[in-house]
Structure 1
Amino acid sequence: MNENRANMGLSSPDEGWRRARSQPSLPEVHGSLRVPKTGSWIKKFLAFVGPGYLVAVGYMDPGNWATDIAGGSMFGYSLLSVIVLSNMMAIVLQALAGKLGIVTGRDLAQACRDHYRKPVAFTLWILCELAIAACDLAEVIGSAIALHLLFGIPLVYGVLITAVDVLIVLLLQNKGFRFIETLVVVLIVTIGGCFVTEIFLSKPDMGGIVHGFVPSTGLVTNPAMLYIAIGILGATVMPHNLYLHSSIVQTRRIEPTREGKRLAIKYATWDSSIALFFALFINAAILILSAATFHRAGMTEVAEIGDAYRLLTPLLGTTIGSILFGVALLASGQNSTLTGTLAGQIVMEGFLNIRLAPWLRRLITRLIAIIPAVIVTAIAGEKGTTELLILSQVILSLQLSFAVVPLIRFTNDKRKMGEFANPPWLKLVSWFIAAIIIGLNAYLLYGVFFGRA
């Protein structure tokens, strides 16, 4: 068996790992989607389309909206270049996550468990669970704010209503993985359609948009602009997305050969890269809308989602602007719920090698998010939920480095990846990205806890 694998140019699946593999990632859907062996490259590529869009959801969740709104209202179109830079970093890291899953047959959580000693793996699991709870908290608050803005439902009740999505997710999982992917794409298209209309109504300065994609010297000379830029960069790459992507790429039934894996890596990278350009459009659209309305009107301190919703109607001269904003926010929150559920399952099963019933796993994480949201909302109202949303992004920033560094280490290791290990240029690029993320998040966290200049 090992001789055959050697003849195919593949290393043993457990070579270079401290522990052998125990079970496949997401076993109920692992290898459940067939990849055609014949036909055009388009037909084969379409078989891989889907996981990238589930990943892209994390780059347009409610937690990112506040920094985009603040950046547009304060500095106009100037920070569009930062959104592009953060998206490029995300494309590289997600490509590495997909490659890890395809080549090793492990998701990132399983890889950490099989590589590190138990105390280290357990610590990484705790940190990741905190990040998922923080992400879930952002989804809860975002959905509750959307329900409040669209239907006048009090925030406390909106937070409680989000608990119902536990049942919705369970129903969707029973319909197959392709159905979940399709629904996510539909919601992303809904979000995109809302913002296309919003941009058309706001009549932005096209020259300003083009100029905004060129990095500004203000990023270095203006401390306030630098801080907002760091907020956009630091909160863009979501740690749970790396775990998620390394798992769901394995839902495709590929040929376990050198060529089969090479094609899978290529098409999976195309899928995630194209999907992340949609996330780039959404984030850029939020900033452009904010710049074209609030900044142009001299409102340079709009940073809260609720304020943005209420101000869009008088500035655009039509209620449809606010309504579309609220619909996009609700779709964003629900989309994040779907991917958050899968990420939670992947992390728990991967790190601990145990399985809980999906409804119980989801209920636990939902209660962790709902309880603080209910308490803060009841005491402090909308302002409190905004501060809680910011706190969730701080927690995500804290955990990010603990996901990025293992991912780069594993994909650089020839003992684990064989001929698919990162080439020298990609090693350099990936470690440079890691250094930027670690440095910027450290600076961001310092500013949050000790105040910025």
Structure 2
Amino acid sequence: MNSEVELEPTSGIKKNSWLRSSSSISLEEVNNTVKIPQNAGFWRKFFAFAGPGALVAVGYVDPGNWATSIAGGSRFGYTLLSVVLISSLVAMLLQTLAAKLGIVTGKDLAQATRDATGPKTAVFLWILTELAIIATDLAEVIGSAIALNLLFGIPLLWGILITTFDVLLLLLLQKKGFRIIESIVIVLMATIFVIFGFEMIAARPDVAALFGGYIPKLEVVTNSSMLFVALGILGATVMPHNLYLHSSIIQSRQYKRTLEGKKEAVKFARLDSVASLTVAFLINSAILILGAAAFYGSGLQVTEIEAAYQLLSPTVGVGIASTLFAVALLASGQNSTITGTLAGQIVMEGFVRLRISPVLRRVITRLLAVVPAFIVTWLYGSSGTGNLLLWSQVVLSLQLPFAIIPLVRFTSDKGKMGSFANSRATKWLAWTATGVIVALNLFLIGYLFLTGEQLG
């Protein structure tokens, strides 16, 4: 089949082979399946388009984020709230670009990258992305196992083994339709939001210091220990696999593939992304604020989720606080497993054009995460899982540039995006954010491998 697709003349995009052909549909089983009401009001259309943003936001509040945020709050007070804020704003910008790429070109980021670089480079980038997904899955495995241990007393090793079977939950949800998956994710996100909102208020934070924490401070960069945790927060907030995910699942909507239809889709995708990621930002802030209010003021440096659970109720003075914390942790772990699987399928099909059974795909990814988690837990116990959680987020941070740079390049290219190409202001913001992320990661790599020291 000819790979060239003729788009509407008014789209401003010339006919070329870069545009998607009908034989390479991203996430084909859900592509163009969610109906959008025509001639409807703003809110009906917004709720029809809403959903992909929630699936993306899930990755920003996964268990790995908890470890870094609690550590940041307990060790440095409210100082790293500025990192949460900046990371969230960067995430909103990048996720909007990812959605726009999918809507305008009909390609997800993995497909677009392969077509622009060639198969050899694509395989290399696929391996890096798979490592990031494994790091994400690792956080979900450990987080869910810890939650099971805290709630039901199940040993961590058994909890890790139990989490390997959550693939059955995902397969059940997939059979019910994509909209059902989105609805369940939204309910779980709302649960986490309410729990942490309650616990943050119960911790009685210093309001003045809290708002002061959102003001960036130079010590975040100059203090190596603080920088390590800040990079962990960055890696847990701006998730590389979410960029691939968003560029694909946004195409699940049945918007008109015309200039006007795409303009409308881009507008509602932007609103959906900002709304969902604002909720994620509030949750991330609440977690760090809880760590600061409950532990930093008491002189406690808590770097492990189990320690936070044990100390939370007596420190806050609310008996149910620890139990609610564990419930939210379990909800977070189960929520994130859905998006991790979808992202894994997208990058595998997009980069190497390998289509395998979702069951096999999930089993492979989960086993790659379970094995290191099991070994570390067996050898080092709960302290080892805490360090593994922190390092999994650093791995995500290191992979970020390989996803962000192609995304910004593609969405800034008028030859690929036509009239939808990034404005000058958007390009400046996107490249500035990219430059900062790359610089911080180069610093981290240099510090770790040239000095041989461990940060934190």
TM-score (norm. length: structure 2) = 0.94
Contact 2:233–2:393 (8 Å) recurs in 1 = no
Deviation at 1:211, TM superposition (A): 2.0
Distance, in Å, in 1 between the alignment partners of 2:74 and 2:386 is: 17
Asked if residue 178 in structure 1 is aligned to residue 179 in structure 2, the reply is yes
Contact 1:234–1:437 (8 Å) recurs in 2 = no
Deviation at 1:443, TM superposition (A): 2.4
Map 1:264-279; keep pairs closer than 5 Å: 264-279=265-280
- 1:316 maps to 316
Contact 1:15–1:416 (8 Å) recurs in 2 = no
Relative distance call for 1:235 and 1:447 in structure 2 (3 A) is farther
Distance, in Å, in 2 between the alignment partners of 1:376 and 1:340 is: 22
89-98 or 143-152: bigger deviation: 143-152
Relative distance call for 1:162 and 1:131 in structure 2 (3 A) is same
Contact 2:143–2:330 (8 Å) recurs in 1 = yes
Distance, in Å, in 2 between the alignment partners of 1:355 and 1:114 is: 17
Asked if residue 426 in structure 1 is aligned to residue 426 in structure 2, the reply is yes
Distance, in Å, in 2 between the alignment partners of 1:112 and 1:253 is: 24
- 2:353 maps to 353
Contact 1:15–1:415 (8 Å) recurs in 2 = no
- 1:36 maps to 37
Deviation at 1:220, TM superposition (A): 5.4
Map 1:291-310; keep pairs closer than 5 Å: 291-299=292-300, 301-310=301-310
7-16 or 348-357: bigger deviation: 7-16
Equivalent position SS for 1:8 = helix
Distance, in Å, in 1 between the alignment partners of 2:121 and 2:165 is: 35
Map 1:16-95; keep pairs closer than 5 Å: 16=18, 22-95=23-96
Relative distance call for 1:267 and 1:309 in structure 2 (3 A) is same
Relative distance call for 1:85 and 1:122 in structure 2 (3 A) is same
Relative distance call for 1:358 and 1:23 in structure 2 (3 A) is same
Equivalent position SS for 1:46 = helix
Deviation at 1:277, TM superposition (A): 0.6
CA RMSD of aligned residues (A): 1.9
Distance, in Å, in 1 between the alignment partners of 2:103 and 2:118 is: 24
Deviations 1:403-429 (A, max 9, x none): 111111111111111111111211111
Equivalent position SS for 1:24 = coil
406-415 or 100-109: bigger deviation: 406-415
Map 1:143-158; keep pairs closer than 5 Å: 143-158=144-159
- 1:399 maps to 399
Instruction: Mark the runs of 5 or more structure 2 residues left unpaired by the alignment.
Output: none
TM-score (norm. length: structure 1) = 0.95
Amino acid at match of 2:391: L
- Number of aligned residue pairs: 450
195-204 or 340-349: bigger deviation: 195-204
Deviation at 1:398, TM superposition (A): 2.4
- 2:13 maps to 11
Deviations 1:364-404 (A, max 9, x none): 10111111211221121111212222232232122211111
Distance, in Å, in 2 between the alignment partners of 1:270 and 1:3 is: 29
Deviation at 1:12, TM superposition (A): 5.0
Relative distance call for 1:42 and 1:157 in structure 2 (3 A) is same
Deviations 1:8-56 (A, max 9, x none): 2342564446x95632111111100111120211111111100001001
Distance, in Å, in 1 between the alignment partners of 2:323 and 2:225 is: 31
Amino acid at match of 1:91: M
- 1:282 maps to 283
Relative distance call for 1:223 and 1:361 in structure 2 (3 A) is closer
Relative distance call for 1:375 and 1:229 in structure 2 (3 A) is closer
Contact 1:102–1:261 (8 Å) recurs in 2 = yes
Amino acid at match of 1:307: A
Distance, in Å, in 2 between the alignment partners of 1:221 and 1:404 is: 25
Contact 2:137–2:369 (8 Å) recurs in 1 = yes
Amino acid at match of 2:358: P
Contact 2:119–2:351 (8 Å) recurs in 1 = no
375-384 or 275-284: bigger deviation: 375-384
Amino acid at match of 1:304: E
Deviation at 1:434, TM superposition (A): 0.6
- 2:194 maps to 193
Equivalent position SS for 2:237 = coil
Deviation at 1:445, TM superposition (A): 3.6
Equivalent position SS for 1:370 = helix
Amino acid at match of 2:283: I
- 1:122 maps to 123
Deviation at 1:280, TM superposition (A): 0.5
Deviation at 1:447, TM superposition (A): 4.1
- 2:370 maps to 370
Contact 2:231–2:397 (8 Å) recurs in 1 = no
Deviation at 1:296, TM superposition (A): 1.4
Contact 1:169–1:338 (8 Å) recurs in 2 = yes
- 1:437 maps to 437
Instruction: Mark the runs of 5 or more structure 1 residues left unpaired by the alignment.
Output: none
Distance, in Å, in 2 between the alignment partners of 1:244 and 1:220 is: 30
